[in-house]
Amino acid sequence: MHFRSILLAAVLAGSSFGQVSPGQTELNNAYKAVADKDYDSAIDLFRQGLAKQPANAAAHKDLAYTLLRAGENAAARDEFEAALKLNPHDETAALEFAFLAFETKKPIEARRTFDRLRKTGNPSTRATAEQAFQNIDRPLADGIARWKEAIARSDKPNDLTMFSAHWELAQLAELRDDLPLAAEQYEICRKLKPQLSELLLILARVWLQLNRVEESRAATLAASRSNDSRTAELALENLGPRYPYPYEFLAAIKLDPTNVNLRRELGYLYLAMHHQSEAIEQFEQILQLNPRDQAARDQINSLRGLKVRPAASPAAPVVATAGVDPKSMGKKSLELGYSRDAIKYLRQAHEQNPDDADVMLKLGWAYNLAHEDGEAISWFDRARHSDDSRIAAEATKAYHNLNGDVLPQTTVWVLPMYSSRWKDVFSYGQIKRTIPIPGLGPVNKLVSFYLSARFIGDVKGSLPGHVLDPQYLSESSFIFGAGAATRTWYHFTGWVEAGESVKYLPGRHDVGAAIPDYRGGINFAKGFGSLLGSNTPGFFYETTGDAIYISRFGKDWLFYSQHRVGHTFRLGGDATSFQTLLNFNYVRDSQNQYWANTIEFGPGAKLHLSWMPKNVYLSADFLRGVYTNNDFNPRRPNYYDVRIGAWYAVTK
């Protein structure tokens, strides 16, 4: 409904007085593309329009929603933020920005926004913001209390062994906007480990928020002359173009008295100002720190009139970036998200070595990060012809993704499971290879065509005929086929498949050795809250629904509805996740056969251990089942079932 309303608004806005303002044509076309669900084109058109109408808050907001539909959450967050800056009273944009900020690892901005909305928003907004704020704030408050208690219990609270406790407390305090506590704890960390130059940058950031401007600049200046190139580069960006005054160097030296680079540069600055005694003092301090520093010794001898070899020229200060390899600086800038700096350094590296495919690949990612996909595609295209197979593979994948090309993919999933109801072990699995059809272009983006091999079987192989027809317990077959599946749209996916089912049990006579097999259906899946593998513990709910047609079951339609609600726990502080849950399953079919009409409910658990791949978990369910149709049912109308299984899936 939202996209229809914005489309109507755009058309009405464009028709005023028979004139179209700059950028409005692009925006109108963007809304049309949204209505046609062509989100990639809509995003490009929105950006073209906003380049001419940068103050259009509504267009920024609508671009954000479109980016959300395309799965670009970080970009959507930035557009909501832009809309909010233009219209600070837009509570919807504020809530969307806050939720996305939290999801995209910006918890401080999320907490601040929720905090503001819970105090100033309308009643509905206040309630939502209050709950979200507490979800962020409560764990931070609890963590701060725990670390304070741990430090208080220590016999040596300011000993090096307590560094981790002070560090954790400082980080939690900063996340909770308790900046005085954060500054206090970071200062303790700095005293315990003065060699960590990164702490200077962190202190500069916190002090600046506390309006301790001079101290912040001193810390930044000290960091900018650090021996650590990454710290120095980040600090230089924050320092600005103005060259520091001598008193600023002295303040930085007070914070970092062993920083030889600071003292040397201040010494040369004093020489340029003809303050020889102050310069000598700094060079003497350098010799106290490092008696083998020959450059400082020669400089002192020269200033004192001793005849020695010519001293190093005092004309040019030493800067932290001198001699830095542009490729390494470019890669570091890219890792930290500084796309413009990455492009600058990597272009220099490319000029030095035009055949370096790794530089070409990194330039592709840097331009992609800067939203200049035309340039990115060009660099990926060059890198994909590299002799290095790793670089070529990564560049080829990126090139086709940015071009919108659909690439072949292989998906494998396996589900082995034990059922106490049947006292049997079942196994289900599939290998599927998608194959884009040449010449179909846009069709390949909407529908994927694939070849498939399925396995459905069990250990026992059969049960007595008077108990249950074996084909409904296990198909005992390999199924080879070809099919087509739609792209997932609003959590729905449709698929059809045709093939041949080949039995692997020679003694089975209820079906032929090979029979036609036609399948198809619609799937829906959605989850809420802290799902298995989530970074944070909490409650969750997930649901799946399937409508499946299977020709070999008497051309029957089967309908499944599964619901799970419970709590996810994080164990041991690592990637181990554990869920306790309640199941509710409903099954029925179009032919009203007794075996396909059941209700099941009961507790269960899932486990993902830290050493397992992300897409692997173990499960156990304890179910009470009831047949909702007992016509021709040879068994009791209800049953118990313990199901223990494992799930594995991978796509490459």
CATH number of residue 631's parent domain: 2.40.160
Per-residue model confidence (pLDDT) at position 468: 40
Q: Report the Cα–Cα distance between both ends of the chain, in Å, rounded.
A: 36
Evaluate whether 259 touches 275 at the Cβ level (below 8 Å).
no
**pLDDT of 316 higher than 80:** no
Evaluate whether 264 touches 287 at the Cβ level (below 8 Å).
no
Residues 6+ away with beta carbon under 8 Å from 369: 334, 337, 339, 342
Residues 6+ away with beta carbon under 8 Å from 85: none
Pairing label, strands 576-589, 598-608: antiparallel
Average pLDDT over residues 605-611: 88
Q: Is residue 122 part of a domain?
A: no
| Judgement on whether residues 351 and 460 belong to the same structural domain of the protein | no
| Judgement on whether residues 397 and 418 belong to the same structural domain of the protein | no
**CA 12 remoteness from chain centre:** 38
**Whose CA is closest to 276, among 241, 305, 254, 242?**
305
| Judgement on whether residues 390 and 419 belong to the same structural domain of the protein | no
Burial zone of 478 (CB within 10 Å; 0-12 exposed, 13-18 middle, 19+ buried): middle
Q: What is the pLDDT of residues 504-535, one digit of tens each?
A: 887 766 667 788 999 999 999 888 888 886 66
Average pLDDT over residues 309-323: 40
125-139, 294-308, 449-463, 618-632: the lowest-pLDDT one:
294-308
Spatial distance between the Cα atoms of 48 and 121, rounded to a whole number of angstroms: 33
**pLDDT of 437 higher than 50:** yes
Per-residue model confidence (pLDDT) at position 335: 73
Per-residue model confidence (pLDDT) at position 68: 85
Q: What is the mean pLDDT of the chain?
A: 83
- Count of Cβ atoms closer than 10 Å to residue 646 Cβ: 15
Q: Is residue 190 part of a domain?
A: no
Average pLDDT over residues 218-245: 83
Q: What is the pLDDT of residues 23-49, one digit of tens each?
A: 788 888 888 888 888 888 889 888 888
Spatial distance between the Cα atoms of 321 and 314, rounded to a whole number of angstroms: 18
Q: For residue 309, report the phi and psi dihedrals to the nearest 5 degrees.
A: -60, 155
Q: Is residue 538 part of a domain?
A: yes
Burial zone of 219 (CB within 10 Å; 0-12 exposed, 13-18 middle, 19+ buried): buried
Residues 6+ away with beta carbon under 8 Å from 436: 405, 406, 407, 408, 444, 448, 449
Per-residue model confidence (pLDDT) at position 228: 79
| Judgement on whether residues 414 and 434 belong to the same structural domain of the protein | yes
| Judgement on whether residues 426 and 556 belong to the same structural domain of the protein | yes
**CA 15 remoteness from chain centre:** 41
Residues 6+ away with beta carbon under 8 Å from 151: 157, 162, 165, 166, 169
Spatial distance between the Cα atoms of 318 and 262, rounded to a whole number of angstroms: 9
Which is more confidently placed, 197 or 599? 599
| Judgement on whether residues 414 and 470 belong to the same structural domain of the protein | yes
Q: Is residue 630 part of a domain?
A: yes
Per-residue model confidence (pLDDT) at position 308: 47
Last residue of a domain, one of 89, 105, 121: 105
Per-residue model confidence (pLDDT) at position 4: 34
**pLDDT of 9 higher than 70:** no
Percentage of the residues of the chain whose pLDDT score is greater than 90: 23
Per-residue model confidence (pLDDT) at position 312: 42
Q: Is residue 194 part of a domain?
A: no
**pLDDT of 591 higher than 90:** no
Average pLDDT over residues 592-606: 91
Torsion angle (degrees, nearest 10) of CA 7, 11, 14, 16:
-130
Please give the structure tokens belonging to residue 311. 């001293």
**Whose CA is closest to 233, among 313, 345, 135, 96?**
345
Please give the structure tokens belonging to residue 511. 């079906």
Q: What is the pLDDT of residues 361-393, one digit of tens each?
A: 999 888 888 878 888 888 988 898 888 888 888
Torsion angle (degrees, nearest 10) of CA 471, 474, 477, 478:
140
Per-residue model confidence (pLDDT) at position 572: 63
Q: Would you put residue 531 in left (φ > 0), alpha (ψ -120 to 50) or beta? A: beta
**Whose CA is closest to 367, among 388, 389, 346?**
346
Q: Is residue 468 part of a domain?
A: yes
* Long-range contacts of 541-548, Cβ-Cβ distance < 8 Å, separation of 24 or more: 541/565, 546/521, 546/522, 547/521, 547/522, 548/519, 548/520, 548/521
- Count of Cβ atoms closer than 10 Å to residue 355 Cβ: 9
Q: What is the pLDDT of residues 105-127, one digit of tens each?
A: 888 888 989 999 898 888 888 88
Q: Is residue 493 part of a domain?
A: yes
Per-residue model confidence (pLDDT) at position 471: 40
| Judgement on whether residues 342 and 469 belong to the same structural domain of the protein | no
Per-residue model confidence (pLDDT) at position 239: 82
| Judgement on whether residues 476 and 386 belong to the same structural domain of the protein | no
Per-residue model confidence (pLDDT) at position 535: 63
What is the number of domains present in the chain? 3
Which is more confidently placed, 474 or 392? 392
Q: Would you put residue 441 in left (φ > 0), alpha (ψ -120 to 50) or beta? A: left
Per-residue model confidence (pLDDT) at position 600: 95
Spatial distance between the Cα atoms of 435 and 450, rounded to a whole number of angstroms: 5
**pLDDT of 296 higher than 70:** yes
**pLDDT of 582 higher than 90:** yes
Q: Is residue 153 part of a domain?
A: no
Q: Which domain holds residue 427?
A: 410-651
Q: What is the CATH number of the domain that holds 344?
A: 1.25.40.10
**pLDDT of 18 higher than 70:** no
| Judgement on whether residues 365 and 416 belong to the same structural domain of the protein | no
What kind and span of H or E run contains 425? strand 424-434
Per-residue model confidence (pLDDT) at position 644: 96
Specify the amino acid at residue 574: D
Per-residue model confidence (pLDDT) at position 306: 62
**pLDDT of 480 higher than 70:** yes
Per-residue model confidence (pLDDT) at position 311: 41
Evaluate whether 244 touches 219 at the Cβ level (below 8 Å).
no
78-82, 182-186, 459-463: the lowest-pLDDT one:
459-463
Last residue of a domain, one of 70, 105, 140: 105
Spatial distance between the Cα atoms of 175 and 107, rounded to a whole number of angstroms: 7
**Whose CA is closest to 131, among 173, 87, 174, 98?**
98
Compute the residue count for the chain.
652
DSSP of 88-121: TT-HHHHHHHHHHHHHTT-HHHHHHHHHHHHHHS
Per-residue model confidence (pLDDT) at position 11: 33
Please give the structure tokens belonging to residue 22. 């700059």
Last residue of a domain, one of 78, 105, 132: 105
Q: What is the pLDDT of residues 122-157, one digit of tens each?
A: 888 888 889 989 988 899 899 999 988 888 888 887
**pLDDT of 642 higher than 50:** yes
Per-residue model confidence (pLDDT) at position 395: 85
**pLDDT of 496 higher than 60:** yes
For the four alpha carbons of 327, 329, 334 and 340, in that order, the dihedral sign comes to: negative
Residues 6+ away with beta carbon under 8 Å from 618: 606, 607, 608, 644, 645, 646
| Judgement on whether residues 390 and 470 belong to the same structural domain of the protein | no
Which is more confidently placed, 227 or 314? 227
Spatial distance between the Cα atoms of 631 and 81, rounded to a whole number of angstroms: 61
Per-residue model confidence (pLDDT) at position 429: 92
Which is more confidently placed, 441 or 20? 441
Spatial distance between the Cα atoms of 258 and 395, rounded to a whole number of angstroms: 45
**pLDDT of 421 higher than 50:** yes
| Judgement on whether residues 577 and 442 belong to the same structural domain of the protein | yes
| Judgement on whether residues 396 and 518 belong to the same structural domain of the protein | no
62-71, 308-317, 468-477, 556-565: the lowest-pLDDT one:
308-317
Specify the amino acid at residue 400: H
